[in-house]
Structure 1
Amino acid sequence: MVVGEFTTEVDTVVIGAGPGGYVAAIRAAQLGQKVIVIEKQHVGGVCLNVGCIPSKALISASHRFEQMNHSESMGISAENVHVDFHKVQEWKGQIVDRLTSGVKGLFKAHNIESVEGEALFVDSDVVRVNHGYESSRYKFNHCIIATGSSPIEIPGFKWSSRVLSSTGALALKEIPKKLVVIGGGYIGIELSSALAGFGTEVVILEGSPSILPAFEKRLIAPVKKKLKAKGVSVFTKALAKGVEETANGVSVTAEVKGKTQTFDADYVMVTVGRRPNTKDLGLDLAGVELGERGLIHVDKQGKTSNDKVYAIGDIVSGMALAHKASYEGKIAAEAISGIASEVDYRAMPAVVFSDPEIASVGLSEEEAVKEGYEVKTGQFPFAANGRALSLGESDGFLKIVSRASDGLVLGAQIVGVSASDMIAEFGLAVESGMTVEDLALTIHAHPTLGEIAMEAADVVLGHPIHIAK
Structure 2
Amino acid sequence: MRDISCKLLVIGAGPGGYVCAIRAGQLGIDTVIVEARKTGGTCLNVGCIPSKALIHAAEEYDRIADLASGRNTLGIRTTKPEIDLSRTVAWKDAIVGRLNNGVSGLLKRAKVKMVQGQARFRDGKTVEVETETGRQVIRAETVVIATGSAPVELPSLPFGDAVISSTEALALTELPERLVVVGGGYIGLELGTAFAKLGAKVTVVEAQARILPQYDAELTRPVSRRLQALGIDVMTGAKAKGLAKAGGTLLVEAESGSEVSLAADRILVTVGRKPVTQGWGMEELVLDRDGPFIRIDETCQTSMRGLYAIGDVTGEPMLAHRAMAQGEMVAEIVAGHRRVWDKRAIPAVCFTDPEIVAVGLGPEEARRAVSDVRIGHFPFSANGRAMTKVGEEGFVRVVARADNHLVLGIQAVGHGVSELSAAFGLALEMGARLEDIAGTIHAHPTQGEAFQEASLGALGHALHA
The alignment's TM-score, normalised by the length of structure 2, stands at 0.97
Amino acid across the alignment from 1:117: G
The residue aligned with 1:269 is: 268
Within 5 A, what are the aligned runs for 1:300-311? 300-311=298-309
Residue 404 of structure 1, CA deviation: 0.8
Match of 1:15 among 6, 11, 15: 11
Task: Write the distance in 2 (CA, Å) between the matches of 1:245 and 1:319.
Answer: 38
> Is 1:69 aligned with 2:65?
yes
Give yes or no for the alignment of 1:417 onto 2:412: no
Give the number of aligned pairs: 460
For residues 129-208 of structure 1, what are the structure 2 equivalents within 5 Å?
A: 129-132=129-132, 134-208=134-208
1:312 deviates by: 0.4
| Alpha-carbon distance in 1 for matches of 2:134, 2:202 | 47
Aligned to 1:256: 254
**Residues 229-265 of structure 1, C-alpha deviation per residue, up to 9 Å, x if partnerless?**
111000001111001476xx72100101111111001
Question: What is the Cα deviation at residue 423 of structure 1?
Answer: 2.3
- Report the alpha carbon displacement of residue 348 of structure 1 after superposing the two structures with TM: 0.9
* Correspondence for 2:458: 460
Residue 286 of structure 1 aligns with an amino acid whose one-letter code is L
Q: CA deviation at 1:132?
A: 4.3
Q: 1: CA distance between counterparts of 2:248 and 2:133?
A: 40
- CA-atom RMSD in angstroms: 1.2
Residues 323-363 of structure 1, C-alpha deviations (whole Å, 9 max, x = no match): 11111111111122221111001101111000000010011
Aligned 8 A contact 1:302 1:328 in 2: yes
User: Hey, what's the Cα distance between the residues in 2 that align with 1:378 and 1:107?
Assistant: 44
Q: What CA distance in whole angstroms lies between the structure 2 residues aligned with 1:178 and 1:344?
A: 43
Structure 1 Cα separation of the partners of residues 124 and 435 of structure 2? 52
Q: What CA distance in whole angstroms lies between the structure 1 residues aligned with 2:135 and 2:116?
A: 10
Native 8 Å contact 1:162 1:245 kept in 2:
no
Contact 2:370 2:401 in 1 (8 A): no
Once residues 318 and 369 of structure 1 are traced to their aligned partners in structure 2, the CA distance between those partners, rounded to angstroms, is 22
The share of aligned pairs that are identical, in percent, is 43
In structure 2, how many angstroms separate the alpha carbons of the residues matched to 1:283 and 1:178? 41
**Residues 121-136 of structure 1 correspond to what in structure 2 (within 5 A)?**
121-132=121-132, 134-136=134-136
Paired position in structure 1 for 2:30: 34
The 3-state SS of whatever aligns with 2:330 is helix
Question: Corresponding residue for 1:286?
Answer: 285
Correspondence 1:419-434 to 2 at 5 A:
419-434=417-432
Q: 2:272 corresponds to which letter in structure 1?
A: G
Residue pair 1:14, 1:144 contacting (<8 A) in 2 also = yes
Residue deviations 1:144-201 (CA, integer Å, cap 9, x gap): 1101000011112121131100001011011111100000011001001111110110
The answer on whether the counterparts of 2:275 and 2:315 sit within 8 Å (CA) in structure 1 is no
Q: Within 5 A, what are the aligned runs for 1:18-417?
A: 18-71=14-67, 72-132=72-132, 134-244=134-244, 250-257=248-255, 258-293=257-292, 295-417=293-415
Structure 1 outlier segments of 4+, above 6 Å:
none
Structure 1: unaligned runs, 5 residues or longer = none
Moved more, 130-139 or 185-194: 130-139
Separation in structure 2 between the aligned mates of residue 271 and residue 224 of structure 1, nearest angstrom: 18
TM-score where L is the length of structure 1:
0.96
Paired AA for residue 302 in structure 1: C
Q: Which whole-Å deviations, capped at 9, do the CAs of 1:193-221 have from their partners, x for residues lacking one?
A: 11111011000000000010011101100
**Contact 1:208–1:238 under 8 Å retained in 2:** yes
Residues 298, 310 of structure 1: 8 Å contact kept: yes
- 1:245 to 1:377, Cα distance in 2 relative to 1, 3 A: same
Specify the code of the residue in structure 2 equivalent to 1:425. Answer: A
Structure 2: 5+ residue stretches without partners: none
Question: 2:168 and 2:412 mapped to 1: Cα distance?
Answer: 30
How far residue 133 of structure 1 moved from its aligned partner, in angstroms, is 6.6
